[in-house]
Amino acid sequence: MERPIIELREIRKDFGNVEVLRGVSLSIFRGEITTVIGKSGGGKSVLLKHIIGLLAPDDGEIFFDGRNISAMSKAEKNAWRRKISYVFQGAALFDSMTVFENIALPLAEKKRMPRRRIREIVSGRMEQLDITAIGEKYPSQISGGMKKRVALARALVTEPEIVLFDEPTTGLDPIRKSAVHAMISDYQKRLGFTGVVVSHEIPDIFFISQRVVMLNEGRVHFEGTPRELEASEDEVIQHFLKGIETPHDALTGLHTPTQLASRYQAEMDQHIRHSTAFSLAVFTIENLEGIPGDEGRVTGQTVVRNFAQELRRHLRPSDTCARFGMDRILAVLPNTGRDEAKNVLEDVLARMDKKRIVEREGARSSCLSVRAGVVQADEDSSIQDILEKAQEAGAGVMVRSVC
């Protein structure tokens, strides 16, 4: 098995009489996004602070790339810490400095670099994150979403190997939340850093994470992929997931993935018992990353929301749909064979009000398209298997441009 880039073994931490961490052991692997979930006040942020060294454990060991940090010299420890960046919950921008100075600070203070070079690097990062226009503003003059982006730019300016995010979407509206998730995912893919995200946004955060760690009662209760977590029948996990679940998807107002999964299961039971046909439709909105401008990702997520609303308007009342990824929507079409489903989709896509979908400025300037695929569910396979099949399936795929 691959060696974890960060490994925590039996970490314990008390604050006064409160035992926050009671022996946490977990591994974080290179190039992945690991999400830490758990109840509020359950020690998730405390865990992150142990990784970056803001807090020291009362007991237990931390390994960086297989080496125990307690055996490292101070210089080695610092060298390691330099590879890690931390994005604070409240952004923690320096309010007496401009956005530009904030981002430049880690370079200006730590790296002996000529000023011109610093300016180049910072400008490059600002351009990547679409915040060039606010360089001279102070943190109090910009919006919450912008602050998150500035904080991310500041964290990424030193080209870290590991980025820790402490509840990056707290206090944002659903569209901006999704936009921040899209941003983390995009940059992770582009820059290849290892991400650790503390988040409450379930299931949205699962769309971008490869691994999930669930803390419960100061210990790791679960460690695995998002799929394994959702499939788990463990009582504590199910209780937690149900407790956090909203009646509707916050971004689109559609059903939640869990609701869709149970609908799918019900249809599958019907299918097995009475061999009624039913189909699954997968809609993927393509080229969302291509939307330019300062608010590109917000525009992208607005398009997803508008598309979902149009879809709900034109699908039949018996159909159930839910968001299953940053840019993907899944629909269960009961009593519908594959050919009929194709006709339904053709019809739905034709009737959609394209202008409404791309109403937001910026969405019109790039060429977006919707890829729709149909899979007839005729075997006892899981929704994820069908989803993969639908992605691969050449047949039944139609692409409609909405630009």
Partner 1 sequence: MSGVLAILAAPFAALGRRFLGLLAEMGRMFLFFGEALLHIVSVPFSFRRTLDQVEFIGAQSIFVIALTALSTGMVLGLQGYYTLVDYGSEGLLGAVVANTLIREMGPVLTAVMVTARAGSAMAAEIGVMRISEQIDALETMEINPVRFLVTPRLAAALVSFPLLTAIFDVVGICGGYLTGSMLLSMNPYLYFYRVENSINLHDVTGGFVKSVFFAVVVIVVCSFSGYTTHTRQGGFGARGVSDSTTRAVVMSCVLILVFDYVLTSFIR
Q: How far is the CB of 90 from partner 1 (least distance, A)?
A: 6
Of 26-34, 80-88, 169-177, 393-401, which segment contacts partner 1 by CB under 8 A? 80-88
Q: Are 196 and 164 in contact (CB under 8 A)?
A: yes
Q: How far is the CB of 88 from partner 1 (least distance, A)?
A: 5
**Residue 89 in the binding site for partner 1 (CB under 8 A):** yes
| Alpha carbon distance 324, 256 (integer Å) | 9
| Alpha carbon distance 288, 284 (integer Å) | 10
**Residue 92 in the binding site for partner 1 (CB under 8 A):** yes
224 forms beta bridges with 212
Q: Please give the span between the terminal C-alpha atoms of the chain, in angstroms, as a whole number.
A: 46
- Applying CB under 8 A, among 25, 52, 137, 223 the residue interacting with partner 1 is 52
Total of residues contacting partner 1 (CB under 8 A): 23
Of 27-35, 89-97, 192-200, 313-321, which segment contacts partner 1 by CB under 8 A? 89-97
Q: Are 196 and 28 in contact (CB under 8 A)?
A: yes
Nearest to partner 1 of 85, 199 (CB atom): 85
**Residue 297 in the binding site for partner 1 (CB under 8 A):** no
Run of H or E including 320: strand 320-323
| 168 burial level (CB within 10 Å; 0-12, 13-18, 19+) | buried
Q: Are 264 and 379 in contact (CB under 8 A)?
A: no
| Alpha carbon distance 225, 71 (integer Å) | 32
- 110-129 residues near partner 1, rule: CB under 8 A: 110
Q: How far is the CB of 139 from partner 1 (least distance, A)?
A: 10
Give every CB contact of residue 123 below 8 A, 6+ residues apart in sequence.
132
Nearest to partner 1 of 89, 309 (CB atom): 89
Smallest Cα–Cα separation from 281: which of 172, 374, 160?
374
Nearest to partner 1 of 12, 82 (CB atom): 82
- Applying CB under 8 A, among 88, 193, 264, 278 the residue interacting with partner 1 is 88
Q: How far is the CB of 232 from partner 1 (least distance, A)?
A: 34
Mask 5-44, x = binds partner 1 (CB under 8 A)?
Answer: ----------------------------------------
**Residue 239 in the binding site for partner 1 (CB under 8 A):** no
Residue type, 299: T
**Residue 95 in the binding site for partner 1 (CB under 8 A):** yes
Q: Find the helix packing angle between 338-351 and 296-314, rounded to 10°.
A: 120
Mask 143-172, x = binds partner 1 (CB under 8 A)?
Answer: ---------------x--------------
| Alpha carbon distance 294, 148 (integer Å) | 13
**Residue 141 in the binding site for partner 1 (CB under 8 A):** no
Of 92-100, 177-185, 245-253, 390-398, which segment contacts partner 1 by CB under 8 A? 92-100
| Alpha carbon distance 13, 265 (integer Å) | 43
Q: What is the DSSP letter of 290?
A: G
Footprint of partner 1 on this chain (CB under 8 A)?
49, 52-54, 78, 81-82, 84-86, 88-90, 92-96, 105-106, 109-110, 158
